[in-house]
């Protein structure tokens, strides 16, 4: 249900008081309705250059860096879509880069992975039973055709899935022959893992211990997979204190000044405790409306409002259930360690 709060974010339209002093990361307009004629440059990172395609009646976005060393498949969460992974760009007018999602793609591109994201057919991924999963059929075809078409079929493939997308990735990864996967906030499909063997892709779980339900399922599955010879690790994502410039540090659309006023307002409202930890889960409190009502931040770039982006950052600090790029280094090191044990270094074979 709290997901609906996130989704509802952009429906919140605030009226901006003309005289109220406000801090913004870009030139303020007198209306927060739209930036159609006044695009903020902050969220148009030139490193994004995705291609949008529609296949089998579903949305696909991909980007291939120069000299790719691998392919990274990404699966979004329940009720979410693929447009949060890339900034708005000529190839994708509907993209609206959410800070955590886009950070994963930017790091993937920096590390020379060709990236592909496909929208699930329904609101959540249809992962089980495999035989009846339409998502399996569609994503397998799309990804397989795409790697062939772009000459990526010899490259190793890795996968990342969040929440419902984590379940789907746990199912899809052996089918697509992925070399390594990372699953965030999801136990994976039990029925598949209980039959896995040492050939199953090395799996790294990120989990949030504040969510006891998923945590117990994930830890149970880790033990199960270990007992079956699967290479598997788990890394907790813990709550952490917010600092004054936190929102600006993670989001190029937010100034330090704005970040500090949000911080102070949270503290005054006891939404931060004396250790600067977020006190109430963003799944249980409508921070979006609170931000707007307190005149802390308004403004929408097409398809997203900045308050929604702040909520994503509150979510990672609270660490109950959230897309998160806070452990990207560990994720990509995990991929690389799996790939290194596979790939023969061509420099060495020439010696
Ligand atoms: C993942 O699949 C399990 C069943 O194996 C299910 O209990 C769980 O709710 C699913 N999780 C998500 C996030 O869809
Ligand atoms: C914003 O604050 C951070 C410290 O938290 C600092 O490193 C950075 O230079 C500041 N940016 C500006 C534009 O003042």
Residues in the chain: 351
Any idea what the Cα angle at residue 235 is, between residues 74 and 102, rounded to 5°? 35
Question: Quick one: pLDDT at residue 177?
Answer: 98
Question: Quick one: pLDDT at residue 41?
Answer: 62
Atom of ligand 2 nearest to the CA of 245: 5
Q: Which residues line ligand 2 (CB under 6 A)?
A: 245, 248, 256
As a whole number of angstroms, the distance between CA 101 and CA 160 comes to 11
Predicted confidence pLDDT, tens digits, the chain (351 residues): 444 433 333 333 232 222 223 333 333 333 333 333 344 567 789 999 999 999 999 999 999 999 999 999 999 999 999 999 999 898 999 999 999 999 999 999 999 999 999 999 999 999 999 999 999 999 999 999 999 999 999 999 999 999 999 999 999 999 999 999 999 999 999 999 999 999 999 999 999 999 999 999 999 999 999 999 999 999 999 999 999 999 999 998 899 999 999 999 999 999 999 999 999 999 999 999 999 899 898 778 777 888 989 999 999 999 999 999 999 999 999 999 999 876 544 454 443
Rg from Cα positions in the chain:
21
Q: Is the CB of 186 under 6 A from ligand 1?
A: yes
Structure tokens at 188: 């994976």
Question: Quick one: pLDDT at residue 306?
Answer: 87
Structure tokens at 288: 């979006």
CA 17 to the chain's CA centroid? 34
Question: Quick one: pLDDT at residue 40?
Answer: 56
Q: Is the CB of 156 under 6 A from ligand 1?
A: no
Structure tokens at 25: 């990361």
Q: Which residues pair with 117 in a beta bridge?
A: 61, 74
Give just the sign of the alpha carbon dihedral 319, 94, 48, 146.
positive
Pairing of strands 180-184, 203-207: parallel
Q: Which residue's structure tokens are 């997308």?
A: 165
Domain boundaries, the chain: 1-38+240-318, 40-238+326-340
As a whole number of angstroms, the distance between CA 262 and CA 102 comes to 22
Q: Which residue's structure tokens are 């007198």?
A: 30
CB of 177 closer than 8 Å to CB of 143? no
As a whole number of angstroms, the distance between CA 264 and CA 34 comes to 27
Q: Which residues contact 231 (CB under 8 A, 6 or more apart)?
A: 198, 202, 203, 338
pLDDT digits 0-9 by tens, 108-125: 999 999 999 999 999 999
Q: Is the CB of 221 under 6 A from ligand 1?
A: no
Say which ligand is closest to the CA of 75. 1
Q: Measure 122 CA to ligand 1 centroid, in angstroms.
A: 15
Q: Measure 256 CA to ligand 2 centroid, in angstroms.
A: 6
Atom of ligand 2 nearest to the CA of 243: 5
Residue nearest to atom 5 of ligand 1 (CA): 189
Q: What is the DSSP letter of 17?
A: P
Domain 40-238+326-340 has CATH 3.40.1360.10: no
Residue nearest to atom 10 of ligand 2 (CA): 256
CB of 85 closer than 8 Å to CB of 74? yes
Question: Quick one: pLDDT at residue 342?
Answer: 63
Question: Quick one: pLDDT at residue 13?
Answer: 29
Q: Measure 184 CA to ligand 2 centroid, in angstroms.
A: 30
Say which ligand is closest to the CA of 77. 1
pLDDT digits 0-9 by tens, 317-349: 999 999 999 999 999 999 999 998 765 444 544
User: Minimal CA–CA distance to 121: which of 136, 101, 102?
Assistant: 136
Residue 289 Cα distances to 132, 247, 267, 296, 316, angstroms? 40, 17, 17, 10, 19
Global model pTM greater than 0.75: yes
As a whole number of angstroms, the distance between CA 137 and CA 327 comes to 31
Q: Ligand 2: which of 256, 261, 263 to mutate, judged by most atoms within 8 Å of the beta carbon? A: 256
Say which ligand is closest to the CA of 187. 1
As a whole number of angstroms, the distance between CA 172 and CA 186 comes to 14
Residue nearest to atom 9 of ligand 2 (CA): 256
Question: Quick one: pLDDT at residue 7?
Answer: 37
Q: Measure 243 CA to ligand 2 centroid, in angstroms.
A: 12
Q: Is the CB of 304 under 6 A from ligand 1?
A: no
- For residue 274, the tally of other CB atoms under 10 A from its CB is 7
């Amino acid at each position: 249900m709290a997901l609906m709060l996130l989704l509802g974010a952009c429906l919140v339209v605030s009226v901006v008081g003309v005289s109220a002093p406000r801090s913004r990361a870009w030139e303020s307009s007198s209306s927060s309705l739209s930036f159609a004629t006044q695009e903020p440059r902050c969220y148009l990172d030139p490193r994004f250059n995705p291609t949008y395609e529609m296949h089998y009646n579903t949305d696909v976005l991909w980007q291939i860096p120069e000299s790719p060393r691998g392919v990274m498949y990404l699966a979004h969460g329940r009720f979410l879509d693929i447009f949060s992974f890339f900034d708005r760009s000529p190839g994708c007018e509907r993209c609206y880069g959410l800070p955590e999602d886009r950070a994963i793609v930017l790091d993937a591109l920096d590390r020379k992975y060709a990236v592909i994201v496909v929208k699930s057919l329904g609101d959540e991924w249809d992962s089980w039973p495999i035989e009846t999963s339409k998502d399996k059929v569609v994503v397998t075809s799309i990804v397989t055709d795409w790697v062939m078409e772009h000459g990526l079929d010899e490259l190793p493939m890795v996968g990342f899935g969040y929440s419902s997308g984590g379940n789907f990735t746990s199912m899809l990864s052996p089918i697509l022959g992925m070399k390594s996967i990372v699953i965030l906030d999801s136990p994976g499909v039990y029925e598949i893992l209980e039959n896995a063997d040492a050939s199953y892709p090395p799996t790294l779980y990120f989990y949030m211990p504040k969510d006891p339900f998923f945590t117990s399922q994930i830890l149970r599955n880790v033990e199960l997979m270990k007992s079956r010879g699967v290479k598997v690790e788990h890394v907790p994502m813990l709550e952490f204190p917010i600092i004054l410039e936190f929102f600006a540090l993670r989001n190029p659309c937010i100034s330090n000044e704005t970040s500090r006023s949000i911080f102070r307002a949270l503290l005054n409202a006891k939404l931060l405790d004396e250790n600067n930890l977020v006190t109430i889960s963003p799944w249980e409190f409508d921070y979006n409306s609170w931000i707007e009502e307190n005149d802390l931040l308004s403004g929408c770039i097409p398809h997203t409002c900045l308050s929604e982006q702040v909520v994503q950052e509150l979510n990672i600090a609270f660490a109950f259930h959230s897309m998160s790029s806070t452990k990207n280094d560990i994720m990509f090191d995990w991929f690389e360690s799996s790939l290194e044990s596979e790939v023969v270094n061509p420099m060495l074979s020439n010696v």
